[in-house]
Amino acid sequence: MSNSKVDYFFIGFPKSGSTTFYYLLKEHPEIFAPEIKEPKFFCTDINRQIKNNLRDNYFQLINSEEEYANLFRSGENNIKGDFNPFNIFSEDAPRNIYKYNPKAKILISVREPVSFLRSFHYQSLYRLIEDEPDFLKALSLEKNRRANKNIPKYCHYPFFLCYSSLIEYKKYIKRCVDIFPRENIKIILFDDIVKNEIKIYREILQFINAKNLDFVPSNPDRNPSHALRFAWLRKVLFTPSIQKWLHTIIPLRLMPVGAKVSKTIFKKNQKKPFISNEDIKLLKTQYKSAVYELDEYLTKENLFDRDLIATWGYSQI
Protein backbone atom coordinates (compact mmCIF):
# COMPACT_ATOMS: atom_id res chain seq x y z
CA MET A 1 0.00 0.00 0.00
CA SER A 2 2.97 2.30 0.50
CA ASN A 3 2.91 5.52 -1.53
CA SER A 4 3.51 9.20 -0.93
CA LYS A 5 0.28 9.52 1.08
CA VAL A 6 -0.54 8.40 4.60
CA ASP A 7 -2.31 5.06 4.30
CA TYR A 8 -4.47 4.75 7.41
CA PHE A 9 -5.97 7.02 10.05
CA PHE A 10 -6.85 6.02 13.61
CA ILE A 11 -9.37 8.81 14.01
CA GLY A 12 -11.07 8.04 17.33
CA PHE A 13 -12.34 7.82 19.86
CA PRO A 14 -10.05 9.33 22.53
CA LYS A 15 -9.26 7.10 25.51
CA SER A 16 -10.16 4.06 23.42
CA GLY A 17 -6.82 2.56 22.41
CA SER A 18 -5.20 5.03 20.02
CA THR A 19 -2.06 5.42 22.16
CA THR A 20 -1.73 1.66 22.62
CA PHE A 21 -1.92 1.01 18.90
CA TYR A 22 0.27 3.97 18.03
CA TYR A 23 3.11 2.25 19.88
CA LEU A 24 2.20 -1.29 18.86
CA LEU A 25 1.94 -0.51 15.15
CA LYS A 26 4.96 1.78 14.85
CA GLU A 27 7.16 -1.11 16.03
CA HIS A 28 6.16 -3.22 13.05
CA PRO A 29 8.92 -3.29 10.40
CA GLU A 30 6.46 -2.48 7.58
CA ILE A 31 4.78 0.44 9.36
CA PHE A 32 5.78 4.03 10.05
CA ALA A 33 4.21 6.58 12.37
CA PRO A 34 5.79 9.97 13.11
CA GLU A 35 7.10 10.91 16.52
CA ILE A 36 4.41 13.60 16.69
CA LYS A 37 1.41 11.38 17.40
CA GLU A 38 -1.39 13.91 16.84
CA PRO A 39 -0.55 16.40 14.06
CA LYS A 40 -4.09 17.90 14.18
CA PHE A 41 -3.80 18.84 10.51
CA PHE A 42 -7.16 17.67 9.15
CA CYS A 43 -9.53 18.91 11.89
CA THR A 44 -9.66 22.38 10.37
CA ASP A 45 -12.98 23.34 11.98
CA ILE A 46 -11.64 22.62 15.47
CA ASN A 47 -8.48 24.55 14.66
CA ARG A 48 -10.52 27.54 13.48
CA GLN A 49 -12.49 27.75 16.71
CA ILE A 50 -9.37 27.47 18.83
CA LYS A 51 -7.79 30.20 16.71
CA ASN A 52 -10.84 32.41 17.27
CA ASN A 53 -10.53 31.91 21.02
CA LEU A 54 -6.76 32.39 21.25
CA ARG A 55 -6.43 35.10 18.62
CA ASP A 56 -2.81 36.32 18.53
CA ASN A 57 -1.67 33.51 20.82
CA TYR A 58 -2.80 30.78 18.43
CA PHE A 59 -0.21 28.48 16.90
CA GLN A 60 -0.41 25.35 14.78
CA LEU A 61 2.33 22.76 14.48
CA ILE A 62 1.53 21.74 10.90
CA ASN A 63 0.34 24.44 8.48
CA SER A 64 0.53 22.87 5.03
CA GLU A 65 0.35 19.54 3.26
CA GLU A 66 4.07 19.83 2.58
CA GLU A 67 4.81 20.17 6.30
CA TYR A 68 2.47 17.25 6.98
CA ALA A 69 4.26 15.12 4.37
CA ASN A 70 7.60 15.93 6.00
CA LEU A 71 6.45 14.16 9.16
CA PHE A 72 6.33 10.91 7.17
CA ARG A 73 9.40 11.45 5.02
CA SER A 74 11.41 8.78 6.86
CA GLY A 75 8.72 6.19 6.18
CA GLU A 76 8.48 6.68 2.44
CA ASN A 77 8.48 2.93 1.72
CA ASN A 78 6.37 1.92 4.69
CA ILE A 79 2.67 1.75 5.45
CA LYS A 80 2.09 5.11 7.12
CA GLY A 81 -0.37 5.92 9.88
CA ASP A 82 -1.85 9.02 11.51
CA PHE A 83 -3.16 8.79 15.09
CA ASN A 84 -5.33 11.74 16.05
CA PRO A 85 -8.39 10.46 17.96
CA PHE A 86 -9.90 13.95 18.09
CA ASN A 87 -10.49 13.84 14.33
CA ILE A 88 -13.65 11.87 15.12
CA PHE A 89 -15.27 15.02 16.55
CA SER A 90 -14.36 17.15 13.55
CA GLU A 91 -16.92 17.68 10.82
CA ASP A 92 -14.14 18.71 8.43
CA ALA A 93 -11.66 15.91 9.11
CA PRO A 94 -13.34 13.04 7.19
CA ARG A 95 -13.76 15.23 4.09
CA ASN A 96 -10.22 16.58 4.38
CA ILE A 97 -8.75 13.10 4.79
CA TYR A 98 -10.74 11.79 1.80
CA LYS A 99 -9.62 14.73 -0.33
CA TYR A 100 -6.04 14.03 0.73
CA ASN A 101 -6.24 10.27 0.15
CA PRO A 102 -9.54 8.72 -1.03
CA LYS A 103 -8.04 5.26 -0.59
CA ALA A 104 -7.22 5.81 3.11
CA LYS A 105 -8.17 3.17 5.65
CA ILE A 106 -10.13 4.45 8.66
CA LEU A 107 -9.89 2.91 12.14
CA ILE A 108 -12.47 3.79 14.79
CA SER A 109 -12.43 2.36 18.32
CA VAL A 110 -15.56 2.72 20.46
CA ARG A 111 -15.87 2.40 24.23
CA GLU A 112 -18.85 2.00 26.54
CA PRO A 113 -20.12 5.56 27.19
CA VAL A 114 -19.80 5.79 30.98
CA SER A 115 -16.33 4.24 30.94
CA PHE A 116 -15.31 6.53 28.08
CA LEU A 117 -16.59 9.71 29.70
CA ARG A 118 -15.01 8.91 33.07
CA SER A 119 -11.67 8.39 31.38
CA PHE A 120 -12.05 11.44 29.15
CA HIS A 121 -12.98 13.63 32.13
CA TYR A 122 -9.98 12.41 34.14
CA GLN A 123 -7.65 13.04 31.19
CA SER A 124 -9.18 16.49 30.74
CA LEU A 125 -8.23 17.39 34.31
CA TYR A 126 -4.63 16.53 33.47
CA ARG A 127 -4.80 18.57 30.26
CA LEU A 128 -6.29 21.51 32.24
CA ILE A 129 -9.30 21.78 29.95
CA GLU A 130 -11.47 20.67 32.89
CA ASP A 131 -11.33 22.14 36.40
CA GLU A 132 -14.16 20.28 38.14
CA PRO A 133 -12.57 17.20 39.72
CA ASP A 134 -15.88 15.51 40.55
CA PHE A 135 -17.03 13.58 37.48
CA LEU A 136 -20.75 13.77 38.25
CA LYS A 137 -20.56 17.48 39.02
CA ALA A 138 -18.70 18.05 35.76
CA LEU A 139 -21.53 16.33 33.90
CA SER A 140 -24.06 18.55 35.66
CA LEU A 141 -22.26 21.69 34.46
CA GLU A 142 -22.92 20.92 30.80
CA LYS A 143 -25.96 23.20 30.47
CA ASN A 144 -24.01 26.17 31.85
CA ARG A 145 -21.03 25.41 29.67
CA ARG A 146 -23.17 25.31 26.55
CA ALA A 147 -24.14 28.85 27.56
CA ASN A 148 -20.43 29.70 27.76
CA LYS A 149 -20.39 29.72 31.57
CA ASN A 150 -17.99 27.88 33.92
CA ILE A 151 -15.43 27.45 31.15
CA PRO A 152 -11.98 26.69 32.59
CA LYS A 153 -9.27 29.23 31.83
CA TYR A 154 -7.19 26.79 29.80
CA CYS A 155 -10.05 25.28 27.80
CA HIS A 156 -9.96 26.79 24.31
CA TYR A 157 -12.47 24.40 22.75
CA PRO A 158 -15.48 24.18 25.12
CA PHE A 159 -17.15 21.46 23.05
CA PHE A 160 -14.97 18.98 24.95
CA LEU A 161 -16.88 19.92 28.11
CA CYS A 162 -20.22 18.97 26.54
CA TYR A 163 -19.94 15.37 27.65
CA SER A 164 -23.28 14.15 26.32
CA SER A 165 -22.27 15.31 22.83
CA LEU A 166 -19.08 13.26 22.96
CA ILE A 167 -21.02 9.99 22.96
CA GLU A 168 -23.11 10.71 19.86
CA TYR A 169 -21.21 7.81 18.35
CA LYS A 170 -23.53 7.20 15.41
CA LYS A 171 -23.30 10.81 14.19
CA TYR A 172 -19.51 10.82 14.15
CA ILE A 173 -19.12 7.39 12.59
CA LYS A 174 -21.76 8.19 9.95
CA ARG A 175 -19.67 11.16 8.76
CA CYS A 176 -16.98 8.67 7.75
CA VAL A 177 -19.39 6.09 6.37
CA ASP A 178 -21.00 8.73 4.15
CA ILE A 179 -17.63 9.48 2.56
CA PHE A 180 -15.41 6.38 2.64
CA PRO A 181 -16.14 2.94 1.15
CA ARG A 182 -17.39 0.48 3.80
CA GLU A 183 -14.44 -1.82 3.15
CA ASN A 184 -12.08 1.01 4.14
CA ILE A 185 -13.61 1.42 7.60
CA LYS A 186 -12.89 -0.83 10.56
CA ILE A 187 -14.77 -0.55 13.85
CA ILE A 188 -12.92 -1.78 16.93
CA LEU A 189 -14.40 -2.46 20.34
CA PHE A 190 -12.32 -1.17 23.24
CA ASP A 191 -13.47 -4.16 25.30
CA ASP A 192 -11.79 -6.47 22.77
CA ILE A 193 -8.55 -4.49 23.03
CA VAL A 194 -8.55 -4.96 26.79
CA LYS A 195 -9.38 -8.66 26.41
CA ASN A 196 -6.86 -9.53 23.70
CA GLU A 197 -4.95 -6.63 22.16
CA ILE A 198 -2.66 -8.87 20.09
CA LYS A 199 -5.67 -10.41 18.35
CA ILE A 200 -6.96 -6.93 17.49
CA TYR A 201 -3.43 -5.89 16.52
CA ARG A 202 -3.29 -8.67 13.93
CA GLU A 203 -6.74 -7.80 12.64
CA ILE A 204 -5.53 -4.24 12.09
CA LEU A 205 -2.38 -5.46 10.35
CA GLN A 206 -4.55 -7.44 7.94
CA PHE A 207 -6.89 -4.47 7.45
CA ILE A 208 -4.06 -2.10 6.49
CA ASN A 209 -2.50 -4.75 4.22
CA ALA A 210 0.64 -5.52 6.20
CA LYS A 211 2.29 -8.74 5.03
CA ASN A 212 3.91 -9.93 8.26
CA LEU A 213 1.01 -10.80 10.54
CA ASP A 214 3.17 -12.75 12.99
CA PHE A 215 5.35 -9.89 14.24
CA VAL A 216 5.04 -9.58 18.03
CA PRO A 217 5.59 -6.06 19.44
CA SER A 218 6.78 -5.23 22.93
CA ASN A 219 4.47 -3.93 25.64
CA PRO A 220 3.40 -0.41 24.64
CA ASP A 221 2.61 2.74 26.58
CA ARG A 222 -1.12 2.33 27.20
CA ASN A 223 -1.67 5.84 28.50
CA PRO A 224 -3.12 4.57 31.82
CA SER A 225 -5.17 6.72 34.15
CA HIS A 226 -3.01 9.46 35.57
CA ALA A 227 -3.30 12.61 37.62
CA LEU A 228 -1.46 15.91 37.45
CA ARG A 229 1.40 16.93 39.71
CA PHE A 230 3.05 20.34 39.85
CA ALA A 231 -0.19 21.86 38.58
CA TRP A 232 1.06 25.40 39.24
CA LEU A 233 4.00 24.91 36.86
CA ARG A 234 1.86 23.26 34.19
CA LYS A 235 -0.55 26.20 34.36
CA VAL A 236 2.32 28.61 33.80
CA LEU A 237 3.52 26.61 30.79
CA PHE A 238 -0.03 26.37 29.45
CA THR A 239 -0.47 30.13 29.42
CA PRO A 240 -1.28 30.73 25.73
CA SER A 241 1.44 33.32 25.15
CA ILE A 242 4.06 31.04 26.73
CA GLN A 243 2.80 28.02 24.77
CA LYS A 244 3.14 29.95 21.53
CA TRP A 245 6.62 31.19 22.48
CA LEU A 246 7.78 27.66 23.34
CA HIS A 247 6.51 26.30 20.04
CA THR A 248 8.25 29.14 18.26
CA ILE A 249 11.69 28.51 19.76
CA ILE A 250 11.63 24.69 19.93
CA PRO A 251 12.28 23.00 16.56
CA LEU A 252 9.55 20.65 15.40
CA ARG A 253 11.92 17.68 15.49
CA LEU A 254 12.47 18.23 19.22
CA MET A 255 8.77 18.48 20.11
CA PRO A 256 8.47 14.75 20.90
CA VAL A 257 11.40 15.05 23.33
CA GLY A 258 9.65 17.92 25.05
CA ALA A 259 6.46 15.86 25.27
CA LYS A 260 8.33 13.00 26.94
CA VAL A 261 9.95 15.36 29.42
CA SER A 262 6.54 16.87 30.17
CA LYS A 263 5.06 13.43 30.88
CA THR A 264 7.93 12.59 33.21
CA ILE A 265 7.47 15.80 35.17
CA PHE A 266 3.71 16.15 35.31
CA LYS A 267 2.22 12.66 35.15
CA LYS A 268 1.60 10.49 38.16
CA ASN A 269 -0.19 7.18 37.70
CA GLN A 270 -3.38 7.25 39.70
CA LYS A 271 -6.68 5.43 39.40
CA LYS A 272 -9.84 7.32 38.60
CA PRO A 273 -11.96 8.26 41.63
CA PHE A 274 -14.62 5.81 42.77
CA ILE A 275 -18.11 5.95 41.31
CA SER A 276 -20.92 3.83 42.72
CA ASN A 277 -22.78 1.14 40.80
CA GLU A 278 -25.97 3.14 41.38
CA ASP A 279 -24.50 6.19 39.67
CA ILE A 280 -23.18 4.09 36.81
CA LYS A 281 -26.63 2.56 36.32
CA LEU A 282 -28.23 6.01 36.37
CA LEU A 283 -25.81 7.27 33.72
CA LYS A 284 -26.38 4.18 31.60
CA THR A 285 -30.08 4.94 31.73
CA GLN A 286 -29.34 8.40 30.33
CA TYR A 287 -27.03 7.08 27.62
CA LYS A 288 -29.08 3.99 26.68
CA SER A 289 -30.62 5.58 23.58
CA ALA A 290 -27.18 6.45 22.16
CA VAL A 291 -26.04 2.84 22.58
CA TYR A 292 -29.19 1.42 20.96
CA GLU A 293 -28.85 3.89 18.10
CA LEU A 294 -25.20 2.95 17.54
CA ASP A 295 -25.89 -0.78 17.72
CA GLU A 296 -28.71 -0.52 15.18
CA TYR A 297 -26.65 1.65 12.83
CA LEU A 298 -23.52 -0.53 12.85
CA THR A 299 -25.63 -3.63 12.22
CA LYS A 300 -27.56 -1.98 9.40
CA GLU A 301 -24.36 -0.81 7.70
CA ASN A 302 -22.65 -4.19 8.18
CA LEU A 303 -19.82 -2.52 10.05
CA PHE A 304 -19.96 -4.62 13.20
CA ASP A 305 -21.59 -7.93 14.09
CA ARG A 306 -21.60 -7.79 17.90
CA ASP A 307 -24.47 -7.03 20.26
CA LEU A 308 -23.26 -3.81 21.90
CA ILE A 309 -26.35 -3.62 24.09
CA ALA A 310 -25.50 -6.91 25.79
CA THR A 311 -21.72 -6.44 25.67
CA TRP A 312 -21.91 -3.08 27.42
CA GLY A 313 -24.54 -4.17 29.94
CA TYR A 314 -27.48 -2.11 28.66
CA SER A 315 -29.94 -4.96 28.10
CA GLN A 316 -31.09 -4.82 31.73
CA ILE A 317 -31.18 -1.01 31.96
pLDDT in tens, 127-136: 999 999 999 9
Residue 275 lies in a domain: yes
Give whole-number Cα distances, 13 to 2, 9, 68, 143, 265, in Å.
25, 12, 22, 23, 26
Domain for residue 260, yes or no? Answer: yes
Number of domains in the chain: 1
pLDDT score recorded for residue 4: 81
CATH number of the domain enclosing 21: 3.40.50.300
Residue 204 in domain: yes
Model confidence at 251, pLDDT cuts 50, 70, 90, reads confident
pLDDT tens digits, 96-148: 999 999 999 999 999 999 999 999 999 999 999 999 999 999 999 999 999 99
Does residue 158 form part of some domain? yes
Whether 1 maps to a domain, the answer reads no
Q: Cα-flanking dihedrals φ and ψ of residue 167, to 5°? A: -105, 20
Among 35-39, 44-48, 257-261, which stretch is predicted with the lowest mean pLDDT?
A: 257-261
> Which residue in 131, 117, 96 sits closest to 13, CA to CA?
117
Asked whether the beta carbons of 18 and 85 are under 8 A apart, the reply is yes
Q: Distance between CA 280 and CA 82 in Å, rounded?
A: 33
166: domain range?
8-311
pTM: 0.93
